[in-house]
Amino acid sequence: MQLTRLLVPTFVQTLQNLSAWLDKAAGPDKDKSGEAAAGLDMLMTLRLAPDMFPLAAQVRFACFQAQEPVYRLRGEDVPQALRQVREEGVKSNEAPGTFADAKARIQEAVSFLSLLTPDALDDAANRPIALDLPNGVIFDMTGEEYARDWSLPQFYFHAVTAYSILRSHGVVLGKPDYVAHMFPYIRPGTLPQS
């Protein structure tokens, strides 16, 4: 499978699902201002455990992880604007941002990914990737290994953590919300009737 066909639809579908989870958490207040908006902004401070990043960070990290591979796989530097998204996540304990900020970050990522050509990343399977982490660790791998062993797991970690934060704080989410992108594949007549 080509890297573009593997990564881009995966990232776009899950980011769209993440946006829908936030909408579900917001309920009818998602387009409100004032007190209702302040309540939505409090969603961004929720977390699973005291030593974990809050929802604001998980959204930003998922958005970063969905876009970073495009640059790395094309052999380009990750632009400062995208590094800023990651930095916003790192600083989210002090500055979680707003519900509207989180929704905008998701839309920016989806829009960016949607503009890629169908083969934008396909020449990168054997490209050497040196993944340097902020703590000084460097991983050396091929583009295919990077996509399989780093990009997808990192992206899913943050998406699942966002889902889990919302779920653990009472947002009614279930497996259909997590795999909403699968509904077009349902064979007619096979959906159980309740």
Question: Domain extents for the chain?
Answer: 3-185
According to the model, what pLDDT value does residue 31 have? 58
Backbone angles phi, psi at 104, to 5 degrees: -65, -40
Cβ neighbours, 10 Å, residue 140: 10
The candidate with the shortest Cα–Cα distance to 42, out of 183, 191, 165, is 165
CA distances from 132 to 32, 62, 159 (A): 41, 18, 22
Tell me the whole-structure pTM to 2 decimals. Answer: 0.92
CA distances from 127 to 74, 83, 121 (A): 9, 22, 10
Backbone angles phi, psi at 53, to 5 degrees: -70, 150
CATH of domain 3-185: 1.20.120.450
Question: Helix 3-26 and helix 55-73: axis angle, to 10°?
Answer: 160
According to the model, what pLDDT value does residue 142 have? 97
Judge contact between 146 and 72, C-beta under 8 A: yes
According to the model, what pLDDT value does residue 34 have? 56
The candidate with the shortest Cα–Cα distance to 94, out of 56, 60, 37, is 56
Which segments in the chain show pLDDT lower than 70?
1, 29-38
